Structure formats: structure tokens, C-alpha cells
């Protein structure tokens, strides 16, 4: 046993302010894992919300575990200790259920590594009757869980609030039944997906469909809560710790879904409607958090759209608290939000133009112009904010060199405004990432741009802005964007690729494993997909039909090729106002 590992766990627990601790002696014991480090996992509100739901269920004890830091990982390997939970330091394999909250494709190898460290076979078919069931929930279950299917006994599809109760009840009823019988019973519940009950088919080296075994539902419906049910229990931080991206800020979910339907983004297309929390309900949660911290972070895909955001910010400021926001849009930037940020001491703000040209911005359904972006930046600097972060994508469908040149000009104009407003000592930081086509969006069939093209365009931006004082440029690696793109739209063959690389996931190891598995990278990533061909996630019901997504994809292509604004009406999403 390594005492250093135990001491690290105890140090983290001692630094936490817990609004909730697991009850002891539950008849259902759940180990809840996040496939990244403690710092990343505890920054994730979804993880904390599920932790609260499970520990709020009578008779359930839920404890957390995380990917070890590099130094801890070496100790685990050197001493042979199995991965354990944070709260009791009990081995993960001793629990009844091992559940993961998974949000990002790049964490897939971490999940396999954590199972291996826990002494559990990473492939579900190799686990025995006395070993725990392995469940995966989180954002990826609304998109494409297939690359993880061979590792997982059970997926919880969609929103956890509607799934935790039925899951625990079924586990209790089936406690004396064999593993297969328990999974077959869970497969009959809405919102649960047992991948072993479905057989993949391949043709000419590519995915050709899933066939359900007798009794398994051919199409699976993720759980989406009604607006009234959503408003019953706002998600918020249950544990405050300085060891997160947000410091000791308490996080509160203001809304779920997004009204804008940006064609590259999964958030708007993953949910059938936008749901807002009413301000009085939010204030109850905020008051609870303010007993332990003076900093509150409001989590929403578009916090500026909340119809009562002015009221909430004013109440928070009146109580002497400070506020931060997960994201802000240039076209929805009320003065109340800026005032709240500045009074809270914010010196850096993020506004994402995504692209440089108005035409390409319209093509991705970003409904603001470059001039509107600059006006928002001017207001930000005028309020006293010194620094601005700008995010953009390279390699979007229909992108040309002129669009990249427009991005350079937009950054230069933003810097000029910063200086004109007396913030010349501040900094503009441009972060560039490659566009990655995601499932359930109108761009799910698109090809990724080649690494060579993306690298060349990123270098062009870096060279053009290299002499601009006060401007920093960061470019994400197209190599890792390629892997993300492959996993985002991958099928079950990718589980064997992950199994080959999870102990040493270098880019070279990935490429070698893909070749050994017979996966054609050029076809999977760099070739447009046939819209008539089955998709690995096609068995998951989506709020948007394939026909609607295809029509919106065609609309984007028309906009990108047309020099003038189009009158073609974009898709719109139902917005449910909060009940007051």
C-alpha cells in the first residue's frame, strides 16, 4: 500500500467544503468516476450533479474516483495498488456499480486506463458475475457512445435526473439475478442502452448498421425532462474546492439547451427545447452557495438569453457576491452582465467570433456580424475589462483563404479598439482549433479538412499577427483534432484501437493501432459521408430528423457560396420560459 496515495486523497478531502457527503451503509454502492484528473472532474458540474442525485437516493452510497495525476499513476503501477475511491479509499472493484460521467472523446482512453487500474477487464464480455456492472452516462450518450460500447455494460442515455431512480430500483430488484438477466431487465427501461444486445454489421471495411437481438428495442429514446420537471431541482455544486478550474466558485446551471442551433455545435441539437430555471429557484440555490463562498458561476450555453438574468445578477451583487459566466455571446451581452463581471473584478472576458467573415458566420448560423462583434468588444473594454479571449475554428465546410484573412483583420480591428478605449496594456488572445464534425448536427456528414491545410492556415494567421503588440495566438494541434473527429463518429471497432493505446496514447500509437484494425483514416475523417449510409449512432433517437438536418446542411452550403445575406429561414428551437 502506498501511503502517499492515501495522503493525497485525505489532503483533497480536507480542502473541500462539502454541502453533501455520502451516507454510509447503503445497500447499493456506486463508484462514480470521471475519466480525467481530480482538477478536471471537479470542474464538471454534471459530475457533481449526479453525485448529489445518487447520494440523495435512499439506501445508496456514492463515492468518487478520478484519473490519477502522472505522479500518482506511477505510484499505482509501482506498488500494485488497485484504483480506489476518494471518500473511503475502498477499491473501485468492490462496488456494486461503477459509473462514469463522460463528456469528451479525448477522455475515452482514460476510461479504459481507469478500469485497468481498478483490476477490471476493460472489455465487458470478459468481466465475471462477481464484478460490478460498468455504466456510462454524460454528454456523449446523446451523440455517439459506440466507440465505448465494448467496454460498457450499460449506457444511461440523456438527462440523469430521470434515470437515477429507475436504475437503482432495477438494480435492487435484480440483486439476486445473474448479470445477463439484470442487463436484459435494464434494457427494457426507457433511456437505457445495453450494447451487448446489439450486433454491429460491416461492409467493405465500414460500419453498415446495428441489429437488435430479440426483445431489445430497435430504436432508443434518450431521457429529456419536461420544463416543469427540470425546474424542480437546479443542478449546482455540491463540493467546493480550490483545486478546480473555477477555484472555490459555486456553479449553478441556469438553463439547458441552446436557442441558436449553430450548425457545428451539439448543444442546441441534443435537446428538443431550451429550458430556463426561474430566478426565484436559482436564488434559493445561490443563497445556499453564498453561505460557503462569495463567488458564483452561472452555467448556460447562452446565459445572456435568460429572461431574468438582470434580476439574478443584481441580487447577487447586492449580497456582495461576485459572478462569472460559462460563455457569453457578442449579440447577447446585456449591460447588467458586464456590470456584474466588472464589479466582481473580472479582468479577462471571452467572446468567440468563431470565424472572421460574416458570410461564413451566417453559414454556421452565428447570427451576428463582425461589426456587432467589434461593438461588443468596445463595450467590454469601455467597462474596464483589460483582456479579451477570442476563439475561432479553422477548416469549416466552405472555408476559403479569404475567410482566414478576414479573421486576421477582425483580430487587428479588435486590438485597435482595445487601444482606443485606453486598454493598450491589455492583451488579445486568439485560440484556434480545427473544426470537428459532430454527430446529431447538420455537419455530421462533412469531411474534416486535411491536417496540412489546417496547419498552413493556422501558420498564416500566426505569421500575420506575430508582429501585433498585445496579441497572442495559440493553435491547437490538428493531430489531436483528427483523433477527436475519428472517435466522435467512430463505431465499435474503435474500442479495440483504444485498448491498444490506452497505456501509451501517443499519436504514432494511435495511427499504428488504426492501421492494424483496418480502419481507413482517409475515408473515416477526410471524405464526406454518404447521407444514405447508416451512421453508428443511427439507433439513437434525436430531436431532429435526418431530413431536417440534411436540409439545414444544404442551407449552409447555399449561404457560404452566396455573397449576400440569404432570406432562407434557419432552423429554430422551442424555448420554454421559466414559470414565475
What is the C-alpha to C-alpha distance for residues 362 and 384, in angstroms, rounded to an integer? 30
Terminal Cα-to-Cα distance of the chain (whole angstroms): 55
pLDDT tens-digit map of 500-555:
999 999 999 999 999 999 999 999 999 999 999 999 999 999 999 999 999 999 99
What is the C-alpha to C-alpha distance for residues 329 and 117, in angstroms, rounded to an integer? 42
For position 572, what pLDDT does the model report?
A: 53
Average pLDDT of the residues in 303-327: 86
Across-strand partners of 91?
84
Across-strand partners of 472?
429
DSSP-based three-state secondary structure for 535: coil
Which of 104-108, 307-311, 491-495 is predicted least confidently?
Answer: 307-311
Looking only at the bridges linking them, the beta strands covering 97-101 and 133-137 are parallel
- Chain-wide mean pLDDT for the chain? 92
What is the C-alpha to C-alpha distance for residues 187 and 427, in angstroms, rounded to an integer? 53
Residue 329 is given by DSSP the state B
Q: 401's torsion region: left (phi>0), alpha (psi -120 to 50) or beta?
A: alpha
Q: What is the dihedral angle through the alpha carbons of 86, 91, 94, 100, rounded to the nearest 10 degrees? A: 50
For position 571, what pLDDT does the model report?
A: 53
Which of 460, 385, 463 has its CA nearest to residue 428? 385
What is the C-alpha to C-alpha distance for residues 410 and 425, in angstroms, rounded to an integer? 19
pLDDT tens-digit map of 67-95:
999 999 999 998 889 999 999 999 999 99
Across-strand partners of 236?
252
Provide φ and ψ at 371, rounded to 5°: -65, -40
Across-strand partners of 342?
none
Domains of the chain, earliest start first:
3-158+164-212 (3.40.50.280)
DSSP-based three-state secondary structure for 346: coil
pLDDT tens-digit map of 385-435:
999 999 999 999 999 999 999 999 999 999 999 999 999 999 999 999 999
C-alpha grid cell for residue 365? Answer: 448560423
C-alpha grid cell for residue 398? Answer: 466552405
Across-strand partners of 266?
none
**pLDDT reading at 23 higher than 50:** yes
Sign for the CA dihedral angle at 219, 169, 274, 46 comes to negative
- Please report which confidence band the pLDDT of residue 44 belongs to, taking 50, 70 and 90 as the band edges: very high
For position 563, what pLDDT does the model report?
A: 61
What is the C-alpha to C-alpha distance for residues 503 and 386, in angstroms, rounded to an integer? 42
Which of 253, 432, 271, 297 has its CA nearest to residue 355? 432
**Of residues 20 and 354, more confidently modeled:** 354
Sheet with 255-256, edge to edge strand ranges = 255-256, 273-276, 574-576
Average pLDDT of the residues in 286-291: 92
What is the C-alpha to C-alpha distance for residues 405 and 397, in angstroms, rounded to an integer? 16
**pLDDT reading at 494 higher than 80:** yes
DSSP-based three-state secondary structure for 384: coil
**pLDDT reading at 566 higher than 60:** no
User: pTM here?
Assistant: 0.94
Q: What is the dihedral angle through the alpha carbons of 570, 547, 193, 138, rounded to the nearest 10 degrees? A: -20
Q: How many residues does the chain have?
A: 580
- Please report which confidence band the pLDDT of residue 337 belongs to, taking 50, 70 and 90 as the band edges: confident
**pLDDT reading at 565 higher than 50:** no
Q: What is the DSSP string of 44-106?
A: -HHHHHHHHHHHTSTTEEEEEEEPPPHHHHHHHHHH-PPPB-TTT--BGGGSSEEEEE---GG
C-alpha grid cell for residue 370? Answer: 463582425
90-125 burial, b for 16+ CB within 10 Å, e for fewer? bbbbbbbbbbbbbbbbbbbbbbbbbbbbbebebebe
Looking only at the bridges linking them, the beta strands covering 239-240 and 17-18 are antiparallel
Average pLDDT of the residues in 375-394: 95
11: Cβ–Cβ under 8 A, 6 or more apart, which residues? none
C-alpha grid cell for residue 387? Answer: 483582456
**pLDDT reading at 574 higher than 50:** no
Q: What share of the chain in percent tops pLDDT 90?
A: 79
Q: What is the DSSP string of 475-487?
A: E--HHHHHHHHHH
**pLDDT reading at 463 higher than 50:** yes
For position 1, what pLDDT does the model report?
A: 52
What is the C-alpha to C-alpha distance for residues 457 and 112, in angstroms, rounded to an integer? 35
Angle (nearest 5°) at CA 500 between 497 and 502: 100
**pLDDT reading at 45 higher than 90:** yes
Q: How many CA atoms lie within 13 A of 453 on its CB side?
A: 17
E strand or H helix at 206? strand 206-212
Which of 125, 155, 162, 151 has its CA nearest to residue 140? 155
C-alpha grid cell for residue 289? Answer: 452557495
Across-strand partners of 329?
332
Q: How many helices (H) and strands (E) does the chain have?
A: 21, 20
Amino acid at each position: 500500500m502506498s501511503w502517499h496515495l492515501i495522503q493525497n486523497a485525505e489532503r483533497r478531502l480536507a480542502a473541500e467544503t462539502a454541502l453533501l457527503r455520502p451516507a454510509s451503509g447503503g445497500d447499493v454502492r456506486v463508484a462514480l468516476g470521471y475519466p480525467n484528473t481530480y482538477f478536471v472532474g471537479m470542474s464538471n458540474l454534471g459530475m457533481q450533479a449526479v453525485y448529489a442525485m445518487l447520494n440523495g437516493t435512499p439506501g445508496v452510497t456514492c463515492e468518487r474516483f478520478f484519473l490519477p495525476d502522472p505522479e500518482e499513476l506511477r505510484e499505482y503501477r509501482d506498488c500494485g495498488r488497485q484504483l480506489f475511491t476518494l471518500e473511503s479509499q475502498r477499491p473501485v472493484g468492490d462496488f456494486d456499480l461503477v459509473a462514469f460521467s463522460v463528456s469528451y472523446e479525448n477522455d475515452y482512453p482514460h476510461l479504459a486506463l481507469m478500469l485497468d487500474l481498478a483490476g477490471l477487464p476493460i472489455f465487458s464480455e470478459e468481466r465475471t458475475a462477481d464484478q460490478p456492472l460498468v455504466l456510462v452516462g454524460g454528454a456523449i450518450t446523446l451523440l455517439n457512445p459506440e466507440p465505448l460500447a465494448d467496454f460498457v455494460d450499460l449506457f444511461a442515455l440523456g438527462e440523469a435526473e430521470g434515470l437515477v431512480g429507475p436504475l437503482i430500483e432495477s438494480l435492487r430488484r435484480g440483486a439476486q439475478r445473474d448479470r445477463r438477466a439484470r442487463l436484459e431487465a435494464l434494457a427494457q427501461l426507457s433511456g437505457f442502452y445495453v450494447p451487448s444486445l446489439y450486433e454491429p454489421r460491416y461492409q467493405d471495411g465500414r460500419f453498415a448498421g446495428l441489429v437488435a437481438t430479440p426483445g431489445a428495442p430497435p430504436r432508443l429514446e434518450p431521457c429529456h425532462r419536461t420544463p416543469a420537471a427540470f425546474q424542480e431541482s437546479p443542478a449546482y455544486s455540491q463540493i467546493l474546492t480550490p483545486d478546480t478550474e473555477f477555484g472555490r466558485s459555486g456553479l449553478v446551471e441556469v438553463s439547458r439547451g441552446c436557442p441558436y442551433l449553430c450548425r457545428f455545435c451539439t448543444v442546441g441539437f441534443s435537446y428538443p427545447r431550451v429550458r430556463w430555471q426561474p430566478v426565484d429557484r436559482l436564488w434559493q440555490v445561490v443563497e445556499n452557495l453564498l453561505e460557503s463562498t462569495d463567488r458564483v458561476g452561472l452555467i448556460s450555453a447562452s446565459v445572456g438569453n435568460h429572461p431574468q438574468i438582470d434580476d439574478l445578477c443584481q441580487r447577487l451583487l447586492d449580497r456582495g457576491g461576485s459572478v462569472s459566466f460559462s460563455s457569453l455571446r457578442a449579440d447577447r451581452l446585456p449591460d447588467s452582465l458586464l456590470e456584474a463581471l466588472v464589479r466582481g473584478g473580472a479582468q479577462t472576458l471571452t467572446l468567440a467570433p468563431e470565424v472572421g467573415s460574416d458570410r461564413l458566420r451566417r453559414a454556421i448560423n452565428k447570427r451576428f456580424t463582425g461589426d456587432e462583434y467589434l461593438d461588443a468588444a468596445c463595450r467590454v473594454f469601455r467597462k474596464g475589462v483589460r483582456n479579451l479571449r477570442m476563439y475561432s475554428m479553422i477548416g469549416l465546410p466552405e472555408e476559403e483563404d479569404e475567410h482566414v484573412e478576414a479573421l486576421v483583420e477582425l483580430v487587428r480591428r479588435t486590438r485597435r479598439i482595445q487601444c482606443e478605449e485606453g486598454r493598450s496594456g491589455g492583451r488579445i488572445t486568439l485560440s484556434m482549433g480545427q473544426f470537428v464534425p459532430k454527430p446529431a448536427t447538420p455537419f455530421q456528414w462533412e469531411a474534416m479538412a486535411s491536417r496540412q491545410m489546417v496547419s498552413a492556415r493556422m501558420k498564416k494567421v500566426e505569421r500575420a499577427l506575430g508582429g501585433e503588440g498585445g496579441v497572442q495566438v495559440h493553435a491547437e494541434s490538428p493531430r489531436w483534432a483528427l483523433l477527436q473527429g475519428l472517435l466522435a463518429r467512430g463505431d465499435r471497432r474503435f474500442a479495440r484501437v483504444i485498448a491498444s493505446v490506452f497505456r501509451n496514447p501517443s499519436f504514432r500509437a494511435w495511427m499504428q493501432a488504426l492501421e492494424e484494425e483496418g480502419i481507413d483514416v482517409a475515408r473515416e475523417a477526410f471524405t464526406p459521408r454518404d447521407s444514405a449510409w447508416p451512421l453508428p449512432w443511427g439507433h439513437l433517437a434525436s430531436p431532429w430528423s435526418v431530413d431536417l438536418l440534411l436540409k439545414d446542411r444544404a442551407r449552409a452550403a447555399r449561404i457560404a457560396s452566396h455573397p449576400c445575406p440569404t432570406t432562407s429561414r434557419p432552423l429554430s428551437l422551442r424555448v420554454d420560459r421559466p414559470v414565475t
